[in-house]
Structure 1
Amino acid sequence: MSTPTPSTVPDFDPDAMLDRARDTFDIEAQAVLGLKQRVGANFVQAVRAILGVRGRVVVMGMGKSGHVGRKIAATLASTGTPAMFVHPAEASHGDLGMIKAVDLVLAISNSGEVEELTTILPVVKRQGVPLIAMTGRPDSTLAKHADVVLDAGVEKEACPLNLAPTASTTAQMALGDALAVALLDARGFGAEDFARSHPGGALGRKLLTHVSDVMRSGDSVPRSTPQASVSDLMKSMSVGGFGAAVILESDGRASGIFTDGDLRRLIEAGTDLRSARAEDVMHRGPRTIRAEALAVEAAELMEQHGITRLFVTDSDGRVTGALNTHDLLRAKVI
């Protein structure tokens, strides 16, 4: 049986649909702003309780609250608070063993009366596990078992039948985010900490990738001596398609750089290169960067000076590597 298209649905009114969408935004925005007015001492108490946990925050919830709970657990874990999600129904059939006395349970239920959740609460309490309830009913069974109650109540759902969890799940999500952000701030969790938990993301690459991880080294570094002929210098430049060569003193320090652009300009100017030496045509004082610097710092240095390549030095200033924008692009740093 084919699914009806909007044009075949009786009495389909585009303007009414847009009005319904706008009403949904208004209702859910009001639900979140309502939390702002109610957040207070209980929220602070919840943050303190989580900060004091030696184990993990075990997030639980059924149905739509369970979906929200999975997201909250993931957000907590990625921002410095060890957390995991345990399904209440599975907990009654063995998964309750995942919860240890050193953990804390964050139970989410708008009604606070979900049977799968309320059934296991006495067992959790007997283990001495602290319980934070996130519920829309502070007088519910869940709230009565809790050590701390976070009021996530809303005046009404965005659903016109006031049945489907909509505004209530938005409020739960926002309250979970507020917890995660408050905990992140209290722990002094910074960008580098975030990168360590997101090594595969763009931020992780930027904050965890060092110049030494992406640079060319050994024979892949095009090099020459000050006394080399321009012909030999050109041969050095062809190494690895780098398009430039570093001119090194006998101690391994860089005295200059010569690029394919320099060569083109000299030829265009009609310069006689047959008797010239590398030291005659090179640019002195090339830009360099230390191997232990972040790769993103190399990208910033290139952008700042309008260049596309850098040579890498050790703590004594000796050249140990080279990199260009193509190397940074391959590493997905830029």
Structure 2
Amino acid sequence: MATIGDVARVAGVSRSTASYALSGKRSISSAVRKKVQDAVDELGYTPNAGARALATAETKIIALLARFLSDEFAPAMLQYIQGVSNRARELGYDTLLVSEADGPAALRRLSTTRMVDGFVLLNVGESDERLDVLRQAAQPGALIGLPADPEGLDVFDLDFPASGRLMVEQLHGVGHREAILVSQSEHVVRRGGAYVWRLANAAQERAEELGMQLHHYYGASLQPEIGTDLHRFLDRHPQATGLLLNNEAAAAALPTVLREREVSAPADLSVLGRFSDEFARTFSLPFSAVDSAAMTLGRQAVEALVTRMQGSTKAEPHVVSLLPPTLDDRGSVTAPRAPSR
């Protein structure tokens, strides 16, 4: 029965280095980590008796890697987590929520020790450093969020470009010719949140095609900053008759902002957001929205993952599934008020 000492000997490294390479608790070069992993594979090493047992049997656990980031609105993230955990439970699996900052190390540790049967990843970035580790893992994985390179992975996401076009078309269709789009913060874009610019770019392109003026801004993710941002954006464009929101924090703050401005929707300002129905009910939001379908995406990811874990589609091509946008009409979009003479 192989020990960590055996792994270190075969890999040609110290016992502590082998341990750190497997645990991910310290920075180890990729070359050394590969040597250790090759030794683990050669020897069939697992860190303890429990892990050895798990290596040959199902754990009935799915790991959900979800980072709670300060530049995103945490309540929106909870909808995706609920969708994953609910569907996993229905299919007979427990969910292990992993919010460790070092996602690659956490994923590598869980995969190597065979603590889980598969992975679902949230907060997927354009060039997500977790993906190479996931592709090399013995267990399958599914993503909620579209990266630049989805090769070898099952991916589920909202069709954000189609969502942006739909939002603009809804306003233009009832007569709006000038509107404001508030996106997530620029920090989200800089760390790879491609869904922000995918929606914004498509919305801007569609607005130009329709001859509609669209002012795009990045808003904060917390109060009171987002409330201040909304006041500033509206002050800058007093002629704008429509407001599009790809920022859940902005949607949650908007009722207060409108009351402070003595403005009502849709009589004075048509409002259309992008958030889930569950989110709207949680915050009692009266605004129409493209449904972000957080629960649906969570369920789809788990269903695909469990099917692969059970072996029936291991050889099947991986899928990239983009959910077409649907509109939840709550009556906050109407024709703009005729200008006074």
- For the superposition of Structure 1 and Structure 2, which TM-score range results when normalised by the shorter chain? 0.3 to 0.5
Bigger relative contact order, structure 1 or 2, given CA contacts below 8 A and separation 6+? 2
Q: Which has the larger radius of gyration?
A: 1
Q: TM-score, with normalisation over the residues of structure 2? A: 0.33
Q: TM-score, with normalisation over the residues of structure 1? A: 0.34
